[in-house]
Amino acid sequence: MTQFVQFEDLGNMPYKQAWDYQESLLKKNLEVKAALRNATDSQEPITTHDSPFTTHHYLLFVEHPPVYTLGKSGDVNNILISEEERTAKGIEYYPTNRGGDITFHGPQQIVGYPIFDLEKFETDIGKYLRKLEDVIILTMADYGLKGDRSPGETGVWLDPDVKGKERKICAMGVRCSRWVTMHGFAFNVNTDLNYFNNIIPCGIQNKQVTSLEKELGHAVSFNEAKERVKKNFEKVFDIQL
């Protein structure tokens, strides 16, 4: 059954503001689920269409000012510059409650935050992550590039099996609470890749980071890239934005 998802393009927004907004949407859905459990226990009538017992899906797109974020199981030593150097460069830093390790968010990078109730899709985090990867792989194919998976490493890569040429174009890290997701992916479009020199991206040694711009040899329309990602979200997840 096709799910309806509310799409919001938040534009350029500081990381903490977008994180707080995600948390508020997650909280609303968790409150709905708690109310549903209470109603079930008391055997009250339950309705599902636009009622207090209906969770809602959201897909947020955002660009962040330069920021490094660390996953809950990440290693802060994967940040290779001091706090003073980072501050001088105008880069923020946040430890987060998502999965994964250290990554960078910045201008001309599509950061996507799906707040999906997986009980309306499939309650399998592994399959959810593979679908997120499929969205980006399809988008890369739209540009004539072959995106791929690297065994044991979440995200989307080019040439993951060619030693010395492995390069990551999209990082992923999510949180899931009572099957409601938050956080998501960061897809490098025309991103300044120099920011990645100050970290060990995703905690993975000796592998490169890339972007659509670098792979194609020219900048691409950021708005067009967002539209392609949206189209492929609808295709992969069978949703209507």
**Per residue in 164-210, pLDDT tens?**
999 999 999 999 999 999 999 999 999 999 999 998 877 777 789 99
Catalytic residue among 62, 136, 169, 202: 202
Task: State yes or no: pLDDT of 77 exceeds 80.
Answer: yes
Between 201 and 34, the higher pLDDT residue: 34
Q: What is the pLDDT of residue 139?
A: 98
Q: What is the pLDDT of residue 228?
A: 98
Give CA–CA dist 230/197, Å, rounded: 30
pLDDT digit string, tens, across residues 120-169: 999 999 999 999 999 999 999 999 999 999 999 999 999 999 999 999 99
Q: How confident is the model at residue 114 (pLDDT cuts 50, 70, 90)?
A: very high
3-240: what CATH class? alpha beta
Give CA–CA dist 15/77, Å, rounded: 21
Known binder of ligand: residue 106? no
> What is the percent of the chain where pLDDT is above 70?
95
- Going by C-alpha positions, the residue among 231, 232, 212, 214 that lies closest to residue 222 is 212
- Among 58-67, 159-168, 197-206, 211-220, the least confident range: 197-206
- Going by C-alpha positions, the residue among 72, 13, 67 that lies closest to residue 199 is 67
Task: State yes or no: pLDDT of 49 exceeds 80.
Answer: no
Give CA–CA dist 96/26, Å, rounded: 15
Q: Would you kindly state where each structural domain of the chain is located, as residue ranges?
A: 3-240
Q: What is the pLDDT of residue 42?
A: 53
3-state secondary structure of 137: helix
HSE-up of 126 (CA within 13 Å, CB side)? 3
Give CA–CA dist 62/52, Å, rounded: 28
Q: And the tokens for 141?
A: 């194919």
Known binder of ligand: residue 13? no
Known binder of ligand: residue 53? no
Q: How confident is the model at residue 217 (pLDDT cuts 50, 70, 90)?
A: very high
Give CA–CA dist 217/54, Å, rounded: 46
Known binder of ligand: residue 71? no
Task: State yes or no: pLDDT of 47 exceeds 80.
Answer: no
Q: What is the pLDDT of residue 52?
A: 58
Q: Is 202 a catalytic residue?
A: yes
Known binder of ligand: residue 186? yes
Task: State yes or no: pLDDT of 40 exceeds 70.
Answer: no
- 56 within 8 A of 7, measured Cβ to Cβ: no
Q: How confident is the model at residue 48 (pLDDT cuts 50, 70, 90)?
A: very low
Task: State yes or no: pLDDT of 58 exceeds 80.
Answer: yes
Letter for the amino acid at 168? K
Known binder of ligand: residue 48? no
Bridging pattern class, strands 153-158 and 109-115: unpaired
Known binder of ligand: residue 104? yes
Give CA–CA dist 208/100, Å, rounded: 17
